[in-house]
Amino acid sequence: ETGVTQTPRHLVMGMTNKKSLKCEQHLGHNAMYWYKQSAKKPLELMFVYSLEERVENNSVPSRFSPECPNSSHLFLHLHTLQPEDSALYLCASSLDQGNSYEQYFGPGTRLTVT
Amino acid sequence: LAKTTQPISMDSYEGQEVNITCSHNNIATNDYITWYQQFPSQGPRFIIQGYKTKVTNEVASLFIPADRKSSTLSLPRVSLSDTAVYYCLVGDGDTGFQKLVFGTGTRLLVSP
C-alpha cells in the first residue's frame, strides 16, 4: 500500500466509449503524474501536474484528457480510444522538491480497448 | 533527454549479493539518481535515491563515483521475492523538472 489508489483496476471499453480513470493520493503530495506502460515497452510519462497546474504534456493525443481538481485527485478522461491504447495506466505522486525524483505509484488501471 | 544504460537481465541465487550498474553520461549537475523496483502488473516502487558517494537504507545501498556518470545498486542477500525489474533513473538534463525517464530496466531473476 503506497498511499496512492487508482480506480478502476481493470477496464474494458469500446472505441466509441467515454470513460475516466481516477487517482487519489493520501500522502500530502503536491505533484501528480500519469504514466502509460505498454507491453514490453518502458513507462512513458504522459502528464504532470504541480499544485494543480499542468506543467508537462508529452505530446499525448487529445483523446486523453487529464484533470486535476485538487492536489489529492487526478483524473484521466478517455474517449474514442484505439486498440493500441491498451496498456497499464499508472498514477504517481510526489512532493515537488525540484530535483528529487521520489515518486509513489498506484497499482495501475489495466485498460483494454476493443 | 538523459539516457541510462543497464544490463537487460541478471540471474542470482538466494542469499547472494546482487550489484546492478547503470551508466548515465548526461546527468545534470543538480540531479539525483533514483532506483525503482517493479513487479508484474504493479506500479514501480521507490527503492533508493542518492546524489554522490554512498547511500544506504534498510533494503539497498547505492554507490555513486565522483564523476556521477554511473551508479551501482547493491541488494544484499537477495531472496526469491526480489525477482523484479529494476530501473535506474536520472533527471532530464534538459528540463530539470521531475521528469522520470524510464529505460527498459534490468530484469533480475533470483533462483533457489
For residue B102, pLDDT beyond 90: no
Give the pLDDT confidence of A52-108 residue by residue, as tens digits.
Answer: 778 777 789 999 999 999 999 999 999 999 999 999 999 999 887 655 678 899 999
CA distance linking residue B57 with residue B40, whole number of Å: 24
User: What pLDDT, in 10s, does the model give residues B63-87?
Assistant: 999 999 999 999 999 999 999 999 9
What residues of chain B lie within 8 A of the CB of A108, using their CB? 41-43
Complete DSSP assignment for B70-88 = EEEEEESS--GGG-EEEEE
Torsion from C-alpha of A38, B6, B108, B42, nearest 10 degrees: -30
Q: What is the pLDDT of residue A97?
A: 60
∠ CA B68-B69-B71, nearest 5°, is: 75
Q: Residue B46: which of A55, A56, A102 has the nearest Cβ?
A: A102
pLDDT for the residue numbered A41? 81
- Contact flag A4-B43 (C-beta cutoff 8 Å): yes
User: Choosing among A11, A43, A47, A93, which should be mutated to test the B contact, i.e. which has the most B CBs within 10 A?
Assistant: A43
Phi, psi of B36 (to 5 degrees): -125, 155
Q: Which residues of A touch B98 (CB under 8 A)?
A: 31, 48, 94, 96-101, 103
- Chain A / chain B CB contacts < 8 angstroms: 71
> Cβ separation of B43 and A45 shorter than 8 Å?
no
Which residue has 540531479 as its cell numbers?
A: B31
Instruction: Give yes or no for residue B96 having a pLDDT over 70.
Output: no
Of B34, B90, B104, the CB nearest to A102: B34
The more confident residue out of B10 and B42 is B10
Nearest by CB to A99, from B30, B89, B104: name it: B30
